[in-house]
Structure 1
Amino acid sequence: MTHFTLSGIFIYPVKSLAGISANSWPVTERGFQYDRKWMIIDNDRQFLSQRKLPRMALIRTALTDKNLILSAPDMENLSLPLEPVAGQIINSTIWHDQCDARSVSAEADKWLSDFLKLDCRLVYQPDEVIRRVDPDYAKVNDQVAFSDGFPFLIISKNSLVALNHEMQMDLPMTRFRPNLVISGCPAYEEDTWRAITIDAIDFRLPKPCSRCAIPTIDPETAQIGKEPLTTLNRTRKWQNKVYFGQNALHDQCGQLTVGDVVHIKSTGTKQPPI
């Protein structure tokens, strides 16, 4: 059985805000604990992302034992409880999904609205709300928080090395917002993986990740460039979409730690077939 190494773990507590790198992190039924537990919505109850507001990239997140902390240029830090008190239920929209979410606080809404220069609200996913994964790619009990569609995004380190070589650039992995980074395999080998095990957790990889414009946003400045989409359009395009990384679902809860061995259990034809 082929094996490689888990070399990166990333959590994004608030959808489309900056993420957190961790050495070890719990895996729950919905994915990494606190990953995309919160999101920002507009007055139409639609989720907001860097696609519409690149300035969201400048909001940093941190987690302590009891709090989610948001920080941004020229703003006082905002500290929020990890287990918010019950707020108003708001039926919110993520792509084609309608999800019940709870408001966090008027203080959080004002802080975000002031920085983003747009009326918006911060909401979280209560434990009792279950959001199912698309049944075309999932088992009946698979669930997810406020990620676009899947609990995990996997990218191999050498895929980014190869892409940077094509671009003659040195973009960081954070541009692509993975949850799991795998080292030791050839570039784009994850395109062929169908089932892998990391430590004692089994993963299914049903679908490649099509990329939007978010990787063109510099997370340090929120400035928008042409790469990596220009090069991905030339090298990783299939059926009018570009792909980088693989979506994944998990079969057990547990704990993942950087350095864990990654076993490749089964492979198939490349997805996308390029």
Structure 2
Amino acid sequence: MAHIERLQVFPVKGLDGVEVETIGISDAGTAAGDREYAMCDPDAGRIETGEDMLTLAYNGKQTDRLHDVRTAFDAGTHTLTVEPKDGGERRSFDLSTDEGRADAGVWLGDFIDDPVDLRRREPPSFVDRPDAGPSVISTATLEEVASWFDDMTVDGARRRLRANVEVGGVPAFWEDRFVGTDVPGFAVGEDAVRFEGDEPCARCVVPSRDPETGDPFPEFRQRFVERREATFPEWADRDAFEHLYTVMLISRVPEASRGRAISVGDAVTVPE
């Protein structure tokens, strides 16, 4: 039976995710608490995203130094804990206060060797596309992708691909069926929170790096695309994929389903 296997948010854009039992859907249609904070370049020009203006934020695409720190986040207190992998001092910062964000920005700036202004933003927060909903992937997809590479574990694939919603009890690339023309959506839980497909997630350089060491996997993209083409599901609309260096669904949550929540164990149903 299709069900929610795992839920994850990334409170600080670019840093480690936090596994949660429930995710609320914000009024903007995003996962509540996801990318609520970001390490912003105080000197960067402003970039336009839809109707909003955001200051350019650091993530793993801009600096591989983020692989060298482990982080934890307490959603109740908004405390960010950082610990360098080289054995450096462990520090904690209260991101709910201006002072705490300023101190965290100084520490992170010193760590990545670039100035950082740590900022907080209400939903849609600092997601890459403020009009898009939670990202969705199946457990079977993670298992399939992990099988393509020597020494990659399912948890390693999970950390590389960084999805909000993981669906169990379905085949690999189940999420591909929701992209294209005349495709269904799916509903989650007793409240029937509806998810619709927006677009397949084009990948960047981050999945090619070992999440522990930051070391790149040789010819990662080439092998990924070759295996993706060989395993592309017959139920998916190939014309909806500009290229095959994609995996994971970027969803869209209609306004009628916003303000609700989904939880681990909730049933997932697809209308006939």
How far does the alpha carbon of each residue in 1:150-198 deviate from its partner, in whole angstroms, 9 at most, with x for none? 2311011111222222334423312100000011111112111241111
The match for 2:118 among 122, 143, 154 is: 122
CA contact (8 A) 1:18 1:219 kept: no
The match for 1:22 among 20, 23, 26 is: 20
The match for 1:70 among 81, 91, 98 is: 81
Aligned-partner Cα distance in 1 for 2:114–2:159: 25
SS of match in other structure, 1:225: coil
For normalisation by structure 2, the TM-score amounts to 0.76
Aligned to 1:195: 185
The answer as to 2:93 corresponding to 1:79 is: yes
How far does the alpha carbon of each residue in 1:121-164 deviate from its partner, in whole angstroms, 9 at most, with x for none? 11111x4xx7xxxxxxxxxxxxx321111231101111122222
For normalisation by structure 1, the TM-score amounts to 0.76
230-239 vs 189-198, which moves further: 230-239
The answer as to 2:234 corresponding to 1:243 is: no
CA contact (8 A) 1:232 1:243 kept: no
Give the AA of the match of 1:196: F
Instruction: Give the alignment of 1:105-144 within 5 angstroms.
Output: 105-125=101-121, 127=122, 144=124
Give the AA of the match of 2:33: Y
Task: Structure 2: give runs of 5+ residues left out of the alignment.
Answer: 45-54, 179-183, 230-240
Aligned to 1:206: 198
SS of match in other structure, 1:71: strand
Give the AA of the match of 2:222: T
The match for 1:234 among 226, 229, 234 is: 226
Q: What percentage of residue pairs aligned between the two structures are identical? A: 20
Larger strand share, 1 or 2: 1
The answer as to 2:122 corresponding to 1:160 is: no
Aligned-partner Cα distance in 2 for 1:145–1:105: 16
Cα offset for 1:227? 6.6
Aligned to 1:184: 169
SS of match in other structure, 2:171: coil
Shift in CA distance, 52/13, structure 1 to aligned 2, threshold 3 Å: same
Cα offset for 1:226? 3.3
Aligned pair count reads: 230
SS of match in other structure, 2:194: strand
CA contact (8 A) 1:154 1:247 kept: yes
Cα offset for 1:21? 1.0
